[in-house]
Every structure is written in structure tokens, then in C-alpha cells.
Amino acid sequence: MAVFVALLFFTGMFVRADTVADLKEKIAERNSAIEALEKEIAEYQREIETTGKEAKTLLGAVLNIDLEQKKLSAQIKVTEARIGAVTLTIRELSEDITDKEQRIGGNRSAIAKAIRSIYEAEQTTLIEALLSGRTLAVFWERVDSLERFQSHVKTDLNETEKLKAGLEDAKKRNEKNRVQLVSLKGELKDRNELLAQSRRNKNALLAATKNKEAEYRKILAQKVAKRNAFEQELLQFESELKFAIDPSSLPSAGSGVLKWPLDSVKITQQFGKTADSGRLYASGTHNGIDFGAPTGTRLKAALSGTVKGIGNTDTVCPGASYGKWVLIEHSNGLSTLYAHLSLIKVPEGQAVATGETIGYTGETGYATGPHLHFTVYATQGVRIMQRKSAVCGGNYTMPIADLKAYLDPMKYL
């Protein structure tokens, strides 16, 4: 009987060992796939950066969108592989926890049995022991053996409970990680929609240009002319604004109250008068900072606050201004603007936390490539206003500020 029970025990251990080994092998396969896909993504990014530096041509624009699509597809596969690996790890931990729970249950039964045996032994009087034909040495040896067994099982129980607690903590960490990965997969699906949108825009552009480079150049020239005219119109209006701004209501410069709105920071245009601002902007100055970022890059709130407004200037004045934008008002006297977005993920009035996703970068509005335009205002000097544009022939809605309200973001980042 004992041999049969032992055989069942060891057979169960071998089956479980095979299962765990199989899970570990699958996890290793997923990790290998992730590594290969990450190398593929890095190669796509290098190609995107190369094509972005080349002359702006119709063929280049089409190629860049195709590369972004391939990169996104690879990122989706990476996320799916990571979710799969975490799921397998959770299964492995669950089996270990079940095994430890069974050990704990067995140890508790053994302790209870040992205590009963010790109690029975202690109830046996010396005369009863002698009358039963057992010697004192045998009697005390039995008691001592049971006490040692009890001590050993108690020690094993404590160690097993500690291990079980550790495994449960690990399981919680992995489940939290899995939730994060599922969230990331949702973000990647958003990017997929964004790139599908870009592809539709590309097809519309090809239809408008009849796939001719000369027509593409003509469209670009018209876009620049409209942007310049719109900027001049807006500058004239903002120059006439006289909002009261109390400097003491603002955080001190260099305080670092704002966080970077992107995980990877690449500044392509600084604030104020720069080498390019006189050529690029009607005012001669740049009212924010530009960060180079591929379309679909996750965008984060630079500080907690309330979404004061969202909008899209392209609905009235395509290719002439901010495109899709988000304005967040903070409690420290500052407001931040995020422009040229491809997708907005927050509604007006929503409270957001520092680092919370508010949208994805893109190249809506006037943009020579995908990037984030980031402006910092003194809140007292900025309003979301609706204005009629003679240039665009319609009413647009966007943040408009007294020129004194524009602040250098680098003083607060």
C-alpha cells in the first residue's frame, strides 16, 4: 500500500514538473520572439528617420506612412507576445501556489496527528507502560521522536507559508503587469487606427495630385501660403489683447514643475527667436517647443490639471494652424497646450493626472512632419475663443493669448 501511495505521489510530481517545464519553454519562446520583433521595430524606426531627413516628396510621404504601418504591426505583435508570456508566467505561479497549499494542508494534518500521539503518550502512566511490556527507554524514545517530528513539521509549515506568500505577491505583480500590457495593446490598436487614417489621407492626397509630384509641390506651396496668412491674422488679433497677468501667480523659473510630455525627448525647435523662427513664423518667434516624434507616440500630461478644451482647427482651416489640440489648466497658474495631435483621448472638463495619456502625436494642422507642439501659458492670459477667419472663410476655435502670456517651457520643465 505504501509503495502504491508513493508511486502516485511521485507520478503527480513528474506530471507537474513536465507541465512547469513546458510553460518555461513556451515563455522562453515568447521572449525570443519579442527580442526579434524589437530588432525589427528598431530597423523600421531607422528607416523612418532616414526618409524623414530626405527632401519632402510625394513618394517619400507615401513610403514614410508605409514604414510607420509596418512598425506598428510589429509593435502589436510584441505586445501580444508579452501578454502571452505574462499569462504563462501567472499559470506557472498558480501551479506553484497550489502545490504549496497542498503541502501546507498535509503539514497541518501531520502536526495535528503528532499532537494527538504526544497527548496519548503523555496520558500513558509509567505503570501502564511497564504493564504493557514496554521499557522506559522505548516509552521516552517514542515521546522524543514525536516531539522532534512536530518541531520539524512546524518549521516546514512556516517556511512553506512564507514561500506561498511570496508566490502570491509575485502573482499579483504579474497580474498587474498583464493589465498594463492589455492597456498597451489598446494603445497600439489606437495607433493602428491612426495609421489607417494616415493611409486614407495618403490615398486622398494621391487622388488630389493624380500621383504627380508637380501637383504635390503645388499643394505644399498653397499650404504654406495659407499658414502664413492665418498666422499674420492671428498675430494682429493677439497683439491687441490686454489681459492682466500677475507674475507673482506663476511658479518660479527653474522649479521643474512640469514633466516631459513624451517618454523620448527630441527637441526640434526651441521657444522664442531662433535661427529658424524668423523664416518660419509671421511673428518672428516660436510660441512653444517642438518635439520630434513619430505619428502615434503616446502623449502625457505634463502636470495634473483639468482639460480646459479640445479642438481641431483643420475642420475650418486645414493645414494652417494647430490641427488637433488639447489645453490643460493647472492649479499653479500655468496652462499647457499640446498640438498637431493625431488622436485626442480626453474630453473637455476631465481631470487628468501627471503622466496620464491624453492623446497621440501626429501632423495635423500645419506640420512638415510628425511632431508635438508644446506651449506653456500664464493661465490668466489665455482664453479658448471662437474667431472668424477671413483667410479660412469660417469660424475656428482655439486657445488665443495675450503675447505676454506665452512662456518659455524650458523654464518649467
| Average pLDDT of span 152-160 | 69
In this structure, the answer to whether residues 159 and 257 fall within a common structural domain is no
In this structure, the answer to whether residues 176 and 255 fall within a common structural domain is no
Nearest to 197 by CA among 359, 69, 325: 69
In this structure, the answer to whether residues 124 and 262 fall within a common structural domain is no
Element (H or E) spanning 311, and its range? strand 305-312
In this structure, the answer to whether residues 195 and 342 fall within a common structural domain is no
pLDDT for the residue numbered 132: 57
CA distances to 138, 224, 228, 409 from 278, in Å: 103, 15, 12, 19
In this structure, the answer to whether residues 37 and 156 fall within a common structural domain is yes
Reported as a pLDDT band with limits 50, 70 and 90, residue 133 is low
Residue 278 has pLDDT above 50, yes or no: no
Q: What percent of the chain is predicted at pLDDT more than 90?
A: 29
Which of residues 174, 202, 230 is at a domain's end?
202
H helices of 210-263, in order, are 213-239
If one counts the domains in the chain, the total is: 2
Size of the chain, expressed as the number of residues it contains: 413
Which of residues 148, 172, 202 is at a domain's end?
202
Least confident span in 82-96, 248-262, 326-340: 82-96
In this structure, the answer to whether residues 45 and 151 fall within a common structural domain is yes
In this structure, the answer to whether residues 171 and 260 fall within a common structural domain is no
Q: Is residue 19 part of a domain?
A: yes
Query: Do residues 314 and 323 touch, judged by C-beta distance below 8 A?
Result: yes
Residue 35's Cα: distance from chain center in Å? 19
Least confident span in 26-30, 181-185, 396-400: 181-185
In this structure, the answer to whether residues 69 and 146 fall within a common structural domain is yes
In this structure, the answer to whether residues 71 and 197 fall within a common structural domain is yes
Which of residues 138, 170, 202 is at a domain's end?
202
Q: Is residue 227 part of a domain?
A: no
pLDDT for the residue numbered 280: 47
When mean pLDDT is compared over 19-23, 284-288, 318-322, 323-327, the highest value belongs to: 323-327
Reported as a pLDDT band with limits 50, 70 and 90, residue 344 is very high
Cβ neighbors of 363 (< 8 A, separation 6 or more) are: 295, 323, 340, 342, 369, 370, 371
| Average pLDDT of span 248-270 | 92
Q: Is residue 237 part of a domain?
A: no
In this structure, the answer to whether residues 112 and 189 fall within a common structural domain is yes
Report which of residues 214 and 55 the model is more confident about: 214
pLDDT for the residue numbered 114: 65
Cβ neighbors of 303 (< 8 A, separation 6 or more) are: 257, 258, 259, 328, 330, 332, 334, 336, 354
Q: What is the pTM of this model?
A: 0.74
pLDDT tens per residue across span 218-258: 888 888 888 888 888 888 888 899 999 999 999 998 889 99
pLDDT tens per residue across span 162-197: 777 877 777 787 778 778 778 878 777 787 787 788
pLDDT for the residue numbered 137: 61
Q: Is 376 helix (H, G, I), strand (E, B) or coil?
A: strand
pLDDT tens per residue across span 142-154: 656 666 666 666 6
Q: Is residue 211 part of a domain?
A: no
Cβ neighbors of 91 (< 8 A, separation 6 or more) are: 23
Residue 134 has pLDDT above 60, yes or no: no
| Average pLDDT of span 77-90 | 83
Pairing relation of β-strands 305-312 and 394-401?
unpaired
In this structure, the answer to whether residues 403 and 324 fall within a common structural domain is yes
Q: Is residue 233 part of a domain?
A: no
When mean pLDDT is compared over 126-135, 283-292, 340-349, the highest value belongs to: 340-349
What mean pLDDT, rounded, does the chain reach?
A: 80
Domain range spanning residue 172? 2-202
From the CB of residue 234, how many other CB atoms can be counted at a distance below 10 Å?
A: 20
Reported as a pLDDT band with limits 50, 70 and 90, residue 49 is confident
Largest Cα span, the chain: 118
Residue 276 has pLDDT above 60, yes or no: no
In this structure, the answer to whether residues 52 and 117 fall within a common structural domain is yes
Q: Output the domain CATH number for residue 379.
A: 2.70.70.10
